[in-house]
Structure 1
Amino acid sequence: MSKRSVWVDTSGSKGYRFHDEHPFHPIRLELTEQLLRLSGEFPAAELIVPPFAEEEAEQAICKLHRHDYVDTVLALSEEHPDPEAVRKADAFGLGADGDTPFFPGMHAATRSIVAGSLAAADAVMSGSADHALHLAGGLHHAFPDRAAGFCIYNDAAAAISHIREKYGARVLYVDTDVHHGDGVQWFFYTDPDVFTLSIHETGKFLFPGSGFHHERGDSSGYGACLNLSMEPYTEDESWLECFGEALARAAAVFRPDVIVSQHGCDAHAFDPLAHIHCSMKIYREMPRMIRECADTYSQGRWIALGGGGYDHWRVIPRAWSLLWLEMSSSPLLKAIDGDSPNAALLPLGWPQLESPDRPDELPPGWLDDTSDWTPMPRRTEITAKNREMLAIALQHIG
């Protein structure tokens, strides 16, 4: 059965921009929207975030984040911030030399992101849509008292809290970013009605250094937290094997009322900030698996957010577009999945954006031709370690 899917407008959040050299750049959104438009797949009608959502977002931010932190973000959002606020910036993870440096207008820009994720949650939970996609969202590293990992306010946690408070629904949060979804996990670490599942490169080698299998929740929330800590240089088959088995087990045991997923695109081999060796195949398959779980356990209710990803040209536009194609049940998926290989090419003329950062060569198709990729020499060992980790991680799940 066809599902109603809505695309949340991201124009209000494109001011979320640290500086031109920063890897977290809004060009990712522009390139994705261009690709979908040229493919004839961009939605004719977007969900425009209503003005009152900004007020709701402000309230949600103040519920989630400590007041002194919010006050500091506000002060540092000025064009010429007070020196006292600048002096405090490092203590709140916003120092000019850190990974999440303050910038003018950051409070308003991040509030817009929170508002978009709240609007996506309401669209699905009210029944006006089955699926909602907000690609500007997914700032999963923000904590109550500090920014981290390019994230200022935690819109994913705000949306989940909103769903819990307004609709009383049980939420399965699925994080596919290559970096552990630490902020969301810790917000709900003792909540038995929010299950957090994160697949990521092991924190032994990658920021934020957490997300190990022994992190299983605490107090009444014990057992409602599942971490898949993958070995560096994991490839498609091992990644999807672990993700598929873990997602199926978690959904079957937890039986969520709604799924909220975060879709960072940085587990690809081209990504410059991680060490996983996957192809575009995982970004075709993971949304399919999530949708199947939503159809089976949560009457199709599915809210998807963006996230990380730092190969702006070759990876993110294709990965996020594939997510939308799955959410919107696009007929193009038949071609991408192999019924008509020639139709699986990207549209002529994409991208229309010129930039000195644009690579000389871009992938011609929706999926990667991995036939000339150098195989990982430790493939068997990596796969075995991932299976061992999965077995341990699943011991407390059902």
Structure 2
Amino acid sequence: MKNESVFVYNEHETTYKFNDEHPFNQKRLLLTVDLLRKAGALQDSQIITPRSATEEELARVHQPEFIEAVKALSEPSPASQWVESASRYGLDTEDTPYFALMHEVTSMVVGGSITAAETVMSGAAKRALHLGGGLHHALQSKGAGFCVYNDASAAIAHITEHYNARVLYIDTDVHHGDGVQWSFYSDPRVCTFSIHETGKYLFPGTGDVTERGEGEAFGTCVNVPVEPYTEDDSWLESFEQVLEPLIERFKPDIIVSQHGCDAHALDPLAHVHCSMRIYKEMPKLIRQWADRWCEGRWVALGGGGYDIWRVVPRAWSLLWLVMSDHPLIQRLEQEPLLSLPSGWLIENQAESPVDLPDTWLDQTDSWEPIPRREVIVEKNKKTVEIALLYVK
């Protein structure tokens, strides 16, 4: 019997590494896989090895000149003319500096997301998760925001080109999914939805509720920029109230979702104040919508997340538990403070610079109340009203 859900993974993807001090640390992949294995939730039979993307597949969403620059800057000692022009391609910044073998590993990341998309669209599985992907900030001719190539855009382009399918892209990263939005801003076959902290205060500064798409695609771009210090209830309400009617109107053939988990209160790079609860409830909603509208077809990707010890392994594991129908997700409904596997805690606490939480979900009773909660909730409600103007 085939797996209904597959896990696209290759440990080599952890070599996507800018430098030792950079906040983008793919050790989080290893920690997540280790947690899932110790919880008995990931079997070898569920894992698919990604392939590398071809240059033709990269060229669907990136300019040939940019691909050439990435390849040249991936050399152990790049030629001086490429080093001098790195700024032109966004590859000399503190956020996204070029590194050796950058093209090779990022091509594998793109290939992993295309592998996930092809697995689902071909009918080999209903759902596929590729946590190494979700690099949603890369633009046609520029790297940005820790992202070199845009694997999410490449996977969506693969789906539209090979299957002529209608794709709903859902981005739950705390940073706006700008690269994917601009890739399909005038393509009516792709609807992009992003819920993120308002760009008034956070990179990349885009994602205003007034960004709607253009031409025939007007209305197929929807943004919900939430206020700093938004908490679980307001985040989930904003998410569900906009997406429910959007899906009903757009009628996608497949959902592709990006699961940055940096909207958590412990994430060091943003200001949204959610708990692990949204990372249990949000994928449940996406799965329900995929089952209702897309015959179950759902591709999920990773994304941001910079508390690699306390947040990312739990959030990404919850996503897989929902995707794979693991009994742990039902247990969490009855036992919200269910303990994490003791073996995982003991093994990783020795290396972690912070105390690890010992439960799957957060014990939020001990958290300090957020000031101005009512004002934040009301501002988010108004944003939802504007977002819905061209949806219903």
- Aligned-pair identity in percent equals 53
Partner of 1:103: 99
**TM-fit CA distance, 1:43:** 2.5
C-alpha separation in 2, matches of 1:171 and 1:48: 23
Residues 336 and 361, structure 2, Cα contact 8 Å, conserved in 1:
no
Partner of 1:312: 308
Partner of 1:370: 364
Residues 3 and 46, structure 2, Cα contact 8 Å, conserved in 1:
no
**TM-fit CA distance, 1:26:** 1.1
Partner of 1:75: 72
Residues 131 and 301, structure 2, Cα contact 8 Å, conserved in 1:
yes
Q: What are the within-5 Å matches in structure 2 for residues 66-215 of structure 1?
A: 66-95=63-92, 97-215=93-211
C-alpha separation in 2, matches of 1:57 and 1:195: 25
C-alpha separation in 1, matches of 2:97 and 2:142: 12
1:69-124 CA-to-partner distances (Å, cap 9, x unmatched) read 111111110111111111111111100x4200000000000000011111100110
**TM-fit CA distance, 1:351:** 4.1
1:48-79 CA-to-partner distances (Å, cap 9, x unmatched) read 346xx43x532211222111111111111011
C-alpha separation in 2, matches of 1:260 and 1:285: 17
1:266-295 CA-to-partner distances (Å, cap 9, x unmatched) read 000000000001000010011001001001
Q: What are the within-5 Å matches in structure 2 for residues 4-15 of structure 1?
A: 4-15=4-15
Partner of 1:58: 55
Q: Which moved more, 1:355-364 or 1:33-42?
A: 355-364
- What is the letter of the counterpart of residue 363 of structure 1? P
C-alpha separation in 2, matches of 1:32 and 1:198: 24
- What is the letter of the counterpart of residue 194 of structure 1? V
1:136-193 CA-to-partner distances (Å, cap 9, x unmatched) read 0001000000000000000000000000010111000000000000000000000111
C-alpha separation in 2, matches of 1:278 and 1:7: 26
Among 358, 382, 385, the residue aligned to 1:388 = 382
Matched, 1:44 2:31: no
Matched, 1:28 2:24: no
Structure 1 unmatched ranges of 5 or more: none
Q: Which moved more, 1:57-66 or 1:268-277?
A: 57-66
- What is the letter of the counterpart of residue 71 of structure 1? E
C-alpha separation in 1, matches of 2:105 and 2:324: 27
The ranges of structure 1 where at least 4 consecutive aligned residues each deviate by more than 2 angstroms after the TM superposition are 46-50, 351-357
**TM-fit CA distance, 1:205:** 0.2
C-alpha separation in 1, matches of 2:319 and 2:304: 14
**TM-fit CA distance, 1:331:** 0.6
Q: CA RMSD in A?
A: 1.5
C-alpha separation in 2, matches of 1:4 and 1:371: 37
1:2-32 CA-to-partner distances (Å, cap 9, x unmatched) read 9700001232322111111111111010000
Count of residues in Structure 1 that have an aligned counterpart in Structure 2: 391
Residues 242 and 387, structure 1, Cα contact 8 Å, conserved in 2:
yes
Q: Specify the SS of the correspondent of 1:132.
A: strand
Residues 130 and 300, structure 1, Cα contact 8 Å, conserved in 2:
yes
Structure 2 unmatched ranges of 5 or more: none
Q: Which moved more, 1:13-22 or 1:136-145?
A: 13-22
Q: Which moved more, 1:202-211 or 1:12-21?
A: 12-21
Q: Specify the SS of the correspondent of 1:14.
A: helix
Report the TM-score, using the length of structure 1 for normalisation.
Answer: 0.95
**TM-fit CA distance, 1:243:** 0.2
C-alpha separation in 2, matches of 1:224 and 1:281: 28
C-alpha separation in 2, matches of 1:160 and 1:71: 22
Q: What are the within-5 Å matches in structure 2 for residues 283-298 of structure 1?
A: 283-298=279-294
Partner of 2:19: 19
**TM-fit CA distance, 1:324:** 0.1
Q: Specify the SS of the correspondent of 1:147.
A: coil
Partner of 2:236: 240
Q: Specify the SS of the correspondent of 2:388.
A: helix
C-alpha separation in 2, matches of 1:3 and 1:386: 39
In structure 2, do the counterparts of structure 1 residues 319 and 48 end up closer, same or farther at CA, with 3 Å as the change threshold? Answer: same
Matched, 1:267 2:263: yes
Q: Specify the SS of the correspondent of 1:274.
A: coil
C-alpha separation in 1, matches of 2:271 and 2:115: 34
